[in-house]
Every structure is written in structure tokens, then in C-alpha cells.
Amino acid sequence: MSVQFPPSAAPLIAHPVDVLPAPVRSRLLQLACGAEPVSAYVYDGEVAAARAKELRAALPDWAAVYYAVKANSYPGIVRALAPHVDGFEVASVSELELALGVGEFMGDPAVVAAGPAKSVPVLTALVRARVEAINAESLLELHRISRIAVAEGVTARVALRVNPAGIPISGSLHMGGAPSQFGVAEPDVPDVLDAARKLPGLDLIGFHIHAASNNLDADSHAAYLRWCVEWSVTTAAATGMELRHVDIGGGIGVAFEGEKPFDMARFGELAALVEPPVGVKVVLEPGRFLVADCGWYAAEVTDVKASYGEWFAVLRGGINHFQLPTSWDIVHNVAVLPVDAWEAGEGCPRPAAERTRVTVVGELCTPEDTLLRDVYVERVRAGDLVVFPNAGSYGWEFAMHSFLGHPVAGRHLLA
């Protein structure tokens, strides 16, 4: 009986090894000389910095680029990005501390904060840090911020997160235009703003509208930016708000197998046609877009085996280290980095699969631990490294570190 796979698991050919930059190959082969099986991320801070500079250069001066720390919170990557972004978006106290910690490199960084269930301790930390904007998710959260601000003797700057009724954008992960835990439904915005104005300790500065993610179409994303600005201007005028801040979230997509990359130059050209009122900052919060291609996840092949006519490469790692391909149903292709040394012991076989299709699986006791199905490889042997490019975002941070208690993946910075 043949197994039927979803379209995202259609057969493909593994990348040639030279898709891996030479410094990455060199670092991984160094790691392979160690006593422990390799399971690690390698990051290149210069790649992330270059992507940030490219986006910053494409946008008009009124647009601000804030890095969403959740995408990759490795301190070396945050420091590499710090000189090339206008601030950071955080969603926890630990991310706040990380963002504030780069102050020695760029002065006091601007910070905006998001999250649908911010606790009192989190809100207290944000108020005390005097962040640029707390994106408030509900009337109750506004009351909590107000109470904390009054107790601290300060005024908290707040942007109301809105779940719009409809948005002119495509994308694989919609976070607006439908019932959601995120933000205030658009029809309720006037009443919530009216109630918020009566609360002490709040400075209502604008709106946060993060309504979609992974959009690869520059034209529709520019239309979304325009819509966010125009909606915010209209709503602020209708409700008596002094608009100073419009946060459109992230949402720029990352291309995978066969997809056309986001056209940054085109997006910049169209964004330049938008004219926010003087004194209104428009914030973009890219995360994945800035760091996806700055990271590689590599895991040593601990075994190669055939089962009922199908080949499997079993890794020292898996969704406990790199869950993104499975949870997001992404075809995340690999390259096989040969490791010539084989020190398993005298007489110990070195199994290999050659010129055939292989399914790449991890070390966990569940069939869900499958990272890539039915990929054609020229050769993969026990002891070689399977390497996933474009693993710089939602990789280490998004994994199931504690399941079965295996060691977590290491992290290494090239530059």
C-alpha cells in the first residue's frame, strides 16, 4: 500500500552542497570533528545586517524598520541587526531585556511591545522601561496599563491593536478580517477609544494592525501599507485622536521551493507613493524576512536504513530542534555535507543510500518527527551532515526543546 503525501511533500531534489557558503561548510566540518554528534545552528550576522540595510534603503524616510525579536533571539544576531534597524518589537520580558541590552551598541533602542495575553508582570516591565508603544489588545489591558502607569507615576504610550473587518492582502497566515484573539474588532474600536480616553496615565498615540504574514506579493503589501495608513488617519480624525504612530506589523514573506521572492525594490517604489501626515511614524516589524537566510540548521545522520522499500536518514535532532517544516507544512529542502571520517569502530558498517529518494527524520519517538519526505539525494551516509538553509528564523526559538530531554541544538555565529 503506497503512502499518500500532501502537495507540500511532493518529490524534490536535494540542493548541491555548494549552496552552502564556504564559511558555513568549514564551521560545520569543524564541529563534526568533535566528540558529540553534530546538531547545531550556524548564523551569519552579516547576512542579516545586509537584508536589513537593503529594506531600510528601499523605504521612504517616514517608514521605520523594527526587528521582531521573536524570529531569532540569538544575541549575536540581535547585535548584528541593531545598527541597521530603527528599533525592536518584543513580546516578553526576556525579549525586552535582550533588546534593551543592545544599548551599548546603539544607544537607548526604541521598543514596541505586542502579544495577546500580556500579564501584569509583563506590562509592569514595559511601563517601567518607558517603551515607545505598548500595543494594547483589549479594554481590560488598557485598564491594567493605566493602573500600572499611575502607580509608577508615569504616562504609558499606547497603540490600540485592531482586528480589521477586511484587508487588501494575501498571505499564508491571516491574522485579521476574521474572529481572532488578536486585537480589538474594528466595529468596537470607537467605544474602546472613548473608554480609554477616560483612563489616567495613558497616551494614545495610534494603532497597530498586524493582519497577515508571509506575503510574497510586493504590490498587495504596498496596498496593505497604504490601507493601514489611510484607515488610521480616518479613524483618528473620526474619534478625536492625535495620530502619531501607525504600526502595520510584519508580514513580508520568505520564498521557498519554486516561489518568487518578495520584490523589495517594487515595494519601496509603491510605498513612496503613500503620504502619511507630517509627524506620523509608520512602523514595519519584519522578523522572519530579515533573518531567514542568515541561518543554517545541521544535524548528523546517525543511521541510514531501508524499510519496506523506502529509505530513511535518521538525524541527531529533529522537531525538538527545528520544528518549522512540520508545523508550517513547508517544503524545506536540504543539502548533504559529506563527512569523510568514519570512526564508529572496527568492523562497524557505514550504511548509505545512493541515487534514491530519502525521508529525513529525527530522533524523537513519534512519526511526527519528520522534516522532509521523499527528497532525491546522490548519496547520504551515516556520519554525514544534513543541512537546512533558510533556518535563521523560527528555528531554535520555535522548537520542542524539552521533549524526551535530548540536548538542545548548539548555536554558533560566523560574523
- Who's near 153: CB < 8 A, 6+ residues apart? none
For residue 293, the 8-state DSSP code is G
Indicate the pairing of strand 173-174 with strand 202-208: unpaired
Task: Measure Cα distances from 81 to 48, 89, 141, 154, 393 in Å.
Answer: 7, 13, 31, 30, 14
- The CA-based diameter of the chain, rounded to the nearest angstrom, is 80
For residue 408, the 8-state DSSP code is P
Q: Where are the beta strands (DSSP E) in 149-254?
A: 156-163, 173-174, 184-185, 202-208, 212-213, 245-247
Q: Give the whole-angstrom CA distance, residue 293 versus residue 341.
A: 29
Among candidate residues 204, 64, 187, the one with its CA nearest the CA of residue 134: 204
- Who's near 309: CB < 8 A, 6+ residues apart? none
Among candidate residues 165, 99, 101, 175, the one with its CA nearest the CA of residue 132: 99
Per DSSP, the three-state class of 244 is coil
- Who's near 280: CB < 8 A, 6+ residues apart? 62, 206, 229, 232, 233, 243, 244, 245, 246
Indicate the pairing of strand 173-174 with strand 111-113: unpaired
Is the separation of the CB atoms in 242 and 186 below 8 Å? no
**Look-up of cell digits 531585556:** 97
Q: Which helix (H) or strand (E) holds 311?
A: strand 310-315
Q: Give the whole-angstrom CA distance, residue 280 versus residue 285.
A: 16
Among candidate residues 168, 152, 252, the one with its CA nearest the CA of residue 202: 152
Residue 365 among the catalytic residues = yes
Among candidate residues 47, 71, 108, the one with its CA nearest the CA of residue 413: 47
Q: Which residues are catalytic?
A: 365
